[in-house]
Amino acid sequence: MVTILMDQEIRNLIALETKRQNNGIELIASENYASQEVRMACGSILTNKYAEGYPNARYYGGCEYVDQIEKIAIERVCKLFNVKYANVQPHSGSQANAAAYRALLPNGGKILSLVLNDGGHLTHGSPVSFSSHLYQFVHYPLGRDGKLDYNKILEIAKLEKPDLILAGYSAYPYAIDFKKFKEICNEVSCLFMVDMAHIAGLIAAKLHENPCDYADIVTSTTHKTLRGPRGGIILTNNENIIKKVNSAIFPYYQGGPLEHIIAGKAICFKEASTKQFQTYANNVIINTKTCKDELESLKIKVSGTDNHLFLLNTLDSYNLTGLEAQKKLENVGITTNKNMLPNDTLTPKETSGLRIGFAAITTRGCNQNDAKIIAKLIDGVLSNKLAENYVKNEVSNLTKKWLKIEEI
C-alpha cells in the first residue's frame, strides 16, 4: 500500500486560492476558468511522460498513447479554426510568438506592430522582451479615436517596408479587420502574422472574423476566451511554414512537450466547437458591453467594446491611477488589472486606466443584470460613494449564486 503524503503548506495555499476565486469577481480579461475535464487532464499521469519530438517521430519510446492525444489535439484545433496545419506544443503564447518569428524571419528582420502602450504585447517589440533583441520593431499607433487607422498603417508600411506586419493585441476593445491588414501586406509585399490570444474564443464561436483566412501564421494562447489550459498554439495553411514552426518549437526553443497540457488543449478545442460554447462567447460580449454601457451612463470615461474587454480611464474619471484603482477594487473582492491607455502619460507601473473583461465570470454564470450591478459597484468603490462593507456584501451575493470553480 502506498501512503500519499500531502504537502500541507501548499495544500493550504491552494485552498485559500480556491476560496479567493469562488468569493471574488474576476474581471481580468486574460483569465478564465477551465472545465473540470480540462483540469483533470492537466493533473493526470500524462505529466509523467517525456516525449521529445512529434507524433510518430519521438526521441523516446512508450509514446503510442500521447501520440494519439497530440494528433487529436491537432485535428481538433485545425477543424475549429479551419486551417490545414497546427503545432500544439508551445508552453505559452510568448513561446508561440518566438517560434513564429523564427519560422518567418531571419534575425534582425523588421516587424511592424502596434505601439505597445496602445494595446500591444511584450513580445510585440518591448525593450524588456526577447523580441526587440532579436528583431527590428517599428510601430503603428492607434487613431485619435482609439481605433486602428488602416490608412495610417499602410502609410507607415510603405515608408518602413517591413518584412512582416503583426496584428492582434492584449488590450484592444474593438473588432480587427484582418482582410484589410492582408490587403496592406499585399500592397507592400510582406508577410502577415496575427496573435489572436485574446479573441481566440470569439473567433472559434464565429463572433469575430477568422484571421486564419488571411494570415501567413496565427498564434494564440489557449487559456483566455478559449477557456482551456495555460499554453500556446501556432496555426498556418502553409506546409513550408509549419515545417519551420515545428523546428523552431523543437528542438530550438523547447524540449519535451507537456503532454498533460496538450490533452487539456484537446478537450478545450472540443468544448469550443459546441453550441453551448457559442452561446457562452456571445454572452461574454453582451455582458462586457452591458457593463461598459452602464458605466458610460454614469458619465465614466470608457472605451470599447466589440469583444470581451473594455478600457476604463480611471485618471480622468476618478483622479486615480490604474494601480490605485486596482488596489481599491481588489480590497472589496473585485479583481482587475491596471492598463496603459492610448497616449498614456503615466508609466506602465501606474497607468491611467483599467482593463476590464467578462470572459471569466460569464463562465460562472454572470448575466446582464449582474453586469449592471458590477458597473455600479465599480463606480461606487472608485468614487467613494459606496461603503466598503456594503460592496463586499454585494460581491458576496453575486458570487454565491454563480457556479463554484469546482463545478465548472
Question: Topology of domain 275-407, per CATH?
Answer: Aspartate Aminotransferase, domain 1 (3.90.1150)
Q: Which of 230, 292, 355, 364 is catalytic?
A: 230
Place of cell 531571419: 106
Residues whose CB falls within 8 Å of the CB of residue 48, separated by 6 or more in sequence, listed in order = none
Determine the Cα–Cα distance for residues 55 and 182; give it in Å rounded to an integer: 33
pLDDT of 120: 84
When the candidates are 3.30.1300.10, 3.40.640.10, 1.20.1440.130, 3.40.50.300, the CATH number that belongs to 39-271 is 3.40.640.10
Question: Residue holding cell 493526470?
Answer: 44
pLDDT higher at 280 or 128:
280
Least confident residue range of 35-44, 123-132, 293-302, 379-388: 123-132
Average pLDDT, rounded, for the chain: 96
Q: How far apart are CA 69 and CA 278, in angstroms?
A: 25
CA distance 270 to 37: 11
Q: For residues 135-147, give the mean pLDDT.
A: 95
Q: Is the pLDDT of residue 3 over 80?
A: no
Which residues, listed in sequence order, are joined to residue 167 by a DSSP beta bridge? 194
**Does 206 participate in catalysis according to the annotation?**
no
Residue 123 has pLDDT above 80, yes or no: yes
Q: Please identify which of the residues 26, 31, 195, 344 carries the catalytic annotation.
A: 195
- Nine-digit cell string for 12: 493550504
Instruction: List all residues 6 or more positions away from 297 whose beta carbon is below 8 Å from its beta carbon.
Output: none
Closest C-alpha among 342, 366, 380 to residue 280: 366
DSSP secondary structure code for residue 299 in this structure: T
Identify the pLDDT of residue 73.
Answer: 98
Range list of H helices, 105-223:
130-134, 150-160, 178-188, 200-204
Residue 406 among the catalytic residues:
no
**From the candidates 39, 50, 150, 372, which is the catalytic residue?**
50
Between CA 372 and CA 24 the distance in angstroms is 17
Q: Is 252 among the residues known to form the active site?
A: no
Domain boundaries, the chain: 39-271, 275-407
What is the average pLDDT across 119-135?
89
Kindly name the residue from 123, 219, 221, 222 that is annotated as catalytic: 221
Is 227 designated active site? no
Q: Say which residues have a Cβ less than 8 Å from residue 339's Cβ, sequence separation at least 6.
A: 171, 311, 322, 351, 353, 354, 355
316 annotated active-site: no
Q: What is the mean pLDDT of residues 78-99?
A: 97
- pLDDT at residue 148 in the model: 97
Task: Tell me which of 126-140, 173-187, 350-364 is least confident.
Answer: 126-140
- Verify whether residue 224 is a known catalytic residue: yes
- The length of the chain, given as a count of residues: 408
**pLDDT reported for residue 383:** 98
Grid cell 490570444 — which residue? 197
pLDDT digits (tens, 9 = 90+) for 235-285: 999 999 999 999 999 999 999 999 999 999 999 999 999 999 999 999 999
Check whether 151 has a pLDDT greater than 60.
yes
Report the percent of the chain where pLDDT is more than 70.
99
- From the candidates 37, 39, 52, 67, give the one annotated as an active-site residue: 52
Supply the pLDDT for residue 116. Answer: 87
Catalytic residue, from 58, 224, 265, 289: name it: 224
Q: Comparing 3-12, 134-143, 192-201, 312-321, which segment has the lowest mean pLDDT? A: 3-12
- Predicted confidence at residue 2, as pLDDT, reads 65
pLDDT > 60? residue 1: no
